[in-house]
A and B are shown apart, each in its own frame.
Chain A
Amino acid sequence: MRLIRNVGAWLDARLQLAAPIRETLQHRVPSRTASWAYVFGSAALTVFGLQLVTGILLALVYTPSAGEAWSSLQILNHQVTLGWFIRALHGWGSNFMLAIVLLHLAEVFLFGAYKFPRELTWVVGILLLLLTLGMAFTGQVLRFDQDAYWGLGIGASISSRIPVLGPWIVKLLLGGPIIAGATLSRFFALHVFVIPGSLILFVGLHLLLVLKLGINDWPMPGRVVRRATYLKEYHELTERDGVPFVPGAVAKDLVFSGAILLALVLCALLFGPFGPGGQPDPAIIQTAPRPDFFFLWLYAVLSLLPPSLETPVLLIGPAIALAVLVGLPFFSGEGEKSWQRRPIAVLAILLVAVSLGTFTHMAIRAPWSPAMDAWSGDPIPPRYLRNHTALERQGAAFFQAKQCRNCHAVGGSGGERGPALDTVAVHLTHDQLVRQVIQGGGNMPAYGKNLSPAETTALVAFLETLYPAGQAPARDASRDAIGANQ
């Protein structure tokens, strides 16, 4: 024991760090900040630490070469002892980190922590969010499977729309004119050196700012931030009602971080690593690329926007969002902090959360994508064929063979790009069905060139049988009138 103390004293005589560390750990914080609402920042830091460790462990085996990255992940998954577990920890760690960072952002926003004098802390925090998203995207590329390959294609296609500079940005992004070895190498450099280096630097700055300016006091309705008086009031608060950070406030941080780490380990054990999916062979086109969870909302937005709005929204949207986020503490740096007095702030968070949640939910189902194998995989339910004429059954065969099913569900299975057709005969008359099939329109291709008159007749005969029992099919009143006149 004495030896340890002696070594410690010897080291501190040279390093002289014990006093500043003790001072930092015991700096006074308002007692109410020892709260379960103030634990997200430290949890994000904990998960980031785990990402650094698991990332270095993966780099011991991973080969950042377009020809070998995919197989090195297979080796990690199947041959290296517990390689799958380290991959799972890193993959789930990424999801956990993004989720915690987003919660941290929402909490800081709702508690008004971005207001004077913590503007810079907020701006650095926004930068950290962008860097974390950058880590998630570049990490998805390093998995170098089909999703990664085509995800890069989507990234390049979006970048190419930037006016004037687009083509150059695409080449800088890909490291050349195509997605290939140079692309993976530069994403490896970004994921392993550039972005983590920046993260460490700016996390350090973020923490330094929290220490220098003090942690945000618990927002009380009516306690208004004023630039002239805030610093004095905060100082008085910590003097009057402060506790040392260690051990006063750190306990809840520790408990939450530990629980998060255990939850992360549990997810990794139960659900395993992410992918890799199919080999990054561009010639294998039987693939439906999907982004990782935290980019699914963007996938939905890109599918749902009207084509003409896409480029403006893609290029101007992020700039506006960033300007609002960075500008927030500068045009709203004073005033009420409590969310109970800031209904617009609460509504804004709810709106963003509900929007992102809805888009993500939709992207999991992706109703806008044709079900590419529905035509050969999902049979027509027998009840739609019973007691039908030969012509109508032939029409059902064309309905399958011409891939109508890829976009139109029948009997609950098939694509959702177009409307389900179980009751189509109630809505469209014979002539309207023929017109729709031949000319298309309303986001449906025209089939006039690819269906013979006989095929169209059979197909429409089948479609005309699609109406529920007890409901009459649509009929053309003008035809009735002509028939009555004859």
Chain B
Amino acid sequence: MTRRGMLLKLGILLNGAAGLVLAVPIVRYLLSPVLRERKPGYESWLSLGPIAQYPAGQTRLATFQSPNSHPGDGLTADIPCWVRNIDGRKFQVFAINCAHLGCPVRWFPQSGLFLCPCHGGAYYSDGSRASGPPERGLFEYSYKLDRGKLLIDAGEMPTAGAPSANLTNISGGNSPCV
């Protein structure tokens, strides 16, 4: 093998090695949203304010600041959810996102239904599916009551394919809430 041929091979080898050395951190950087997952604070107990804000027997809109928000997020850091105070002691907290494709559902107290403006999904007051394209009930956050405050366990946007681990699946199919 000539000296020039050796040098060429060495050059290719060096550049290949440099490419690998660069590719690993670049790929890790790109995958950061996935790799960051499950670090402390990803899912947190967040306050929705004093329980007194949610009268018994009613369903009200509440907002909480996402535990994953950053200074530049503006209004998008404040995530809405529906709080149902069943009887003064038991609660249900529903994600705002329709279980079909994530549009914001609206509560109609008169007919006791959540309606979705996008594709027409409808849910009963307990979050179970009433009609339309959704294949399941609304996503529900786990909650706890602590010193007169309502706390929910929230972190990521719930989606049909990936309801967060801390969300309960409401069964009940087609039956109206009982």
Hey, which bits of chain A sit against chain B, CB under 8 A? Answer: 65-68, 149-150, 153-154, 156-162, 166-168, 170-172, 174-182, 279-283, 285-289, 299, 302-303, 305, 307-308, 310, 368-370, 372, 375, 401-404, 406-407, 417, 440, 443-450
Contacts and interface: CB of A to CB of B under 8 A. Distances in A.
A310 B132 CA distance: 12
B70 A181 contact: yes
24 contacts: A66-B73, A154-B102, A162-B161, A167-B161, A170-B159, A176-B33, A178-B79, A182-B33, A280-B76, A283-B61, A283-B75, A285-B104, A303-B120, A303-B133, A403-B111, A406-B115, A445-B130, A446-B174, A446-B176, A447-B176, A449-B124, A449-B177, A449-B178, A450-B125
A171 B72 CA distance: 18
Interface in B76-115: 76-80, 96-97, 100-106, 108, 110-113, 115
A440 B130 contact: yes
Contacts of B61: 283, 285
Determine which residue in B33, B80, B130 has the highest number of CB atoms from chain A within 10 A of its CB, and name it.
B33
Contact of A281 (B66, B75, B162): B75
B119 interface: yes
Contacts, number: 210
B157 interface: yes
B78 A154 contact: no
Interface in B118-163: 118-120, 122, 124-125, 130-135, 155-157, 159-162
Interface of B: 30-31, 33-34, 36-37, 42, 61, 63, 66, 68-70, 72-80, 96-97, 100-106, 108, 110-113, 115, 117-120, 122, 124-125, 130-135, 155-157, 159-162, 174-178
Contacts of A282: 75-76, 78-80, 96, 104
A406 B115 CA distance: 10
B75 A445 contact: no
Contacts of A407: 120
Contacts of A161: 160-161
Given A156-B157, A403-B110, A287 B104 contact: yes
Contacts of A280: 74-76
A160 B76 contact: no
B115 A370 contact: yes
A156 B159 contact: yes
B120 A160 contact: no
A67 B69 CA distance: 12
B102 A445 contact: no
A153 B101 contact: yes
Given A67-B74, A282-B80, A283-B78, A310 B102 contact: no
Nearest to B78: A283
B135 A307 contact: yes
Nearest to A400: B110
B101 A444 contact: no
A94 to B, nearest CB: 23
Contacts of B113: 403, 445, 450
Nearest to A416: B120
